[in-house]
């Protein structure tokens, strides 16, 4: 079974430029998360989707960040314009939701963003 | 916002020793999970403990949960150099798939 796929793996951009990250979750997983992880810190939730609906975007800086989940499957996270402080790893994760085994989250390898 | 806080922030031990990491959280939870992250990689699920459980084992891992103190501990027995990684606790607040992570404990196991 394929895991969560993210691209690009690494991205270096100049400040004020736009950048987009793509995520393909595990097939059948209704819940999709975008997290941001700064160096030496834990993942911070940016947005959570249940199918195509964004049910928690309270941590998403909406002035420059946007996200969408097309047809409840793939998702994109966009930053426009990027700032130096946006340098971080952007992690996508998916889960099948609550079940007998609880809500186990499966992570992609992350997209490493450096803004210069 | 972070939900859990791990303690210690960093831990260095010799191979063969046991490693204990602690996690404290703030709100009521449905379950608590521990994840591992190798340098430059994504997080990998290790173990889940439900709010009505007090202890759980998986191989060399032992997790305890004390809901009255809002805390959990992860014990790795007979550690190996390959256990070197960051370990994070994550809480599912009230079973609505809202997963929040702590800042992590960076474990170094010296061969």
Q: What is the pLDDT of residue B95?
A: 64
| Domain CATH number, residue B31 | 2.60.40.10
CA gap B80, B101 in Å, rounded: 25
CA gap B35, B68 in Å, rounded: 23
Neighboring chain A residues of B4 at a CB cutoff of 8 Å: 42
Judge whether B36 and B86 are in contact, CB under 8 Å.
yes
The residue-averaged pLDDT of A84-94 equals 97
Judge whether B32 and B23 are in contact, CB under 8 Å.
yes
- Is B1's pLDDT higher than 70? no
Q: Which residues pair with A46 in a beta bridge?
A: none
Task: Please state the φ and ψ torsions of residue B67, each to the nearest 5 degrees.
Answer: -70, -25
Q: Which of B90, B60, B89 is nearest to B75 (CA)?
A: B60
The token duo for A66 is: 């946007």
Domain of B17, in residue numbers = 4-110
CA gap A85, A49 in Å, rounded: 25
Report in angstroms the alpha-carbon separations of A113 from A32, A85, A97, B44, B100.
20, 10, 28, 21, 22
| Cβ contact B42–A44 (<8 Å) | no
The residue-averaged pLDDT of A68-96 equals 95
| Cβ contact A95–B97 (<8 Å) | yes
Domain of A41, in residue numbers = 5-115
The residue-averaged pLDDT of A89-101 equals 82
The count of structural domains within chain A is 1
3-class secondary-structure state, position A78: strand
- Is A1's pLDDT higher than 70? no
Model confidence pLDDT, tens digit, residues A20-38: 999 999 999 999 999 999 9
The token duo for B109 is: 């196991």
B72 pLDDT band, cuts 50/70/90, is: very high
| Domain CATH number, residue A15 | 2.60.40.10
Neighboring chain A residues of B92 at a CB cutoff of 8 Å: 102-103
Return the ∠ at Cα B90 (arms to B22 and A23), rounded to 5°.
145
The count of structural domains within chain B is 1
């Amino acid at each position: 079974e394929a895991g969560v796929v993210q691209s690009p793996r690494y991205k270096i951009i100049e400040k004020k430029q736009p950048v987009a990250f793509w995520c393909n979750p595990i097939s059948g997983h209704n819940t999709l998360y975008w997290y941001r992880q700064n160096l030496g810190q834990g993942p911070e939730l940016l947005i959570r989707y249940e199918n195509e609906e964004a049910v928690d975007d309270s941590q998403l800086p909406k002035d420059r960040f946007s996200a969408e989940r097309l047809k409840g499957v793939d998702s994109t996270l966009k930053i426009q314009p990027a700032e130096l402080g946006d340098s971080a790893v952007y992690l996508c994760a998916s889960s099948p939701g609550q079940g007998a085994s609880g809500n186990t989250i499966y992570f992609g390898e992350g997209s490493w963003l450096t803004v210069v | 916002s972070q939900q859990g806080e791990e303690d210690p922030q960093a831990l260095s031990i010799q191979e063969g020793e046991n490693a204990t990491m602690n996690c404290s959280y703030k709100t009521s939870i449905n379950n608590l999970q521990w994840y591992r992250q190798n340098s430059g990689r994504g997080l990998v699920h290790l173990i889940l403990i439900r709010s009505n459980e007090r202890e759980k084992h998986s191989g060399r891992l032992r997790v305890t949960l004390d809901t009255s103190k809002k805390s959990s501990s992860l014990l790795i027995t007979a550690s190996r150099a390959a256990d070197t990684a960051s370990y994070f606790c994550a809480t599912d607040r009230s079973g609505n798939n809202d997963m929040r992570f702590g800042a992590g404990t960076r474990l170094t196991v010296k061969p």
